[in-house]
Amino acid sequence: MKSKMKMSLWKKIAIITASVLVVMAGAFFIYTGSYYHAEHPVLTEALAQADGSKGVDITSKGNSYFFTPSDQKPETALIFYPGGKVEYTAYADLMQIIAKEGYLCILVKMPFNLAVFDMNAAKDYMDTYDTIKNWYVGGHSLGGAMAAEFAAKYSSRLAGLILLGAYPASDLSSSSLKVLSMYGSMDQVMNREKFKEGLKMMPKVHEEIVIEGGNHAQFGSYGKQKGDGEAAVSQEEQQNTAAKEITGFMSDNP
């Protein structure tokens, strides 16, 4: 009798555990299945323009897109992590603008559109492309935070870190890493209190740029983001400004 009762108890526990796991799995896929899509046809247009005469060649390798300046062999590269729950191709416009200035840009696709699941993705590219002398890693929002986590581990291999609407969670204050932090004055998605706390974790020498009239979402091309402020500048203008600051930063800190 006792043996049957024990088996019955374990059976109930197993059923409850399995049910909880099923519910959790379902909730996870519902959560990750809802994300911001790239504005159609952002990458299609970029690919159509990437014919050499426009100055940038775009190729797909694995889960990433490579934006390479035409007829050049760049020695500096930016590996870019997309924002959380944002389709990675939404950053194709920004990458193309930067690449036109002579830089290789690698736009990384993240599992479930969440960089937290592959924060060390940059290492694979850094280990593979030995023609690149200066590596930068950067990202937008959650992607920026995860890029900062990567930079904290591999700072000796990086020339710099670029944060768009993001802040570090790990302490970089004792690092000699060059950091560019940029956000829009109308950004209402980024937590300003946590951003201020994040500044304490930055290296003493870092650049902070505020794009007047810019918001959180317009670093990418995926439309309006819930809770964000209304931008006073166009998406194109914000991305052009961001690209100018990024290329200037990489040029000054080889």
Residue 30 confidence class, pLDDT cut points 50, 70, 90? very low
Whether a cis peptide bond, with omega within 30° of 0, leads into 74 is no
**Bridge-based pairing state of the strands 160-164 and 134-140:** parallel
Least confident of 46-50, 158-162, 204-208: 46-50
- Identify the residue whose tokens are 């109930």: 12
pLDDT confidence of residue 168: 95
What is the SS3 string spanning 63-85? CEEEEEECCCCCCEEEEEECCCC
Given a cut of 80, whether residue 205 has pLDDT beyond it is yes
Single-letter residue type at 188: Q
Contacts for 144 with CB less than 8 Å, ≥ 6 apart = 81, 83, 138, 162, 163, 164, 165, 166, 167
**Type of residue at 200:** K
**Arithmetic mean of pLDDT, 10-16:** 58
Instruction: Compute the Cα dihedral for 214, 202, 131, 113 and give only its sign.
Output: negative
Confidence of residue 135 (pLDDT cuts 50, 70, 90): very high
pLDDT tens-digit readout, 105-120: 999 999 999 999 999 9
pLDDT bracket for residue 39 (50, 70, 90): confident
Tell me the pLDDT tens digit for each residue of 74-115. 999 999 999 999 999 999 999 999 999 999 999 999 999 999
**pLDDT band, residue 20 (cuts 50/70/90):** very low
8 Å CB contact between 221 and 91: yes
Question: pTM for the whole thing?
Answer: 0.86
Question: How much is the pLDDT for 62?
Answer: 82
Domain 35-252 in CATH 3.90.1150.10? The answer is no
CA distance 188 to 230: 9
Average of per-residue pLDDT values in the chain: 87
Contact (CB, 8 A) for 84 and 112: no
HSE-up of residue 85 (Cα within 13 Å, Cβ side): 11
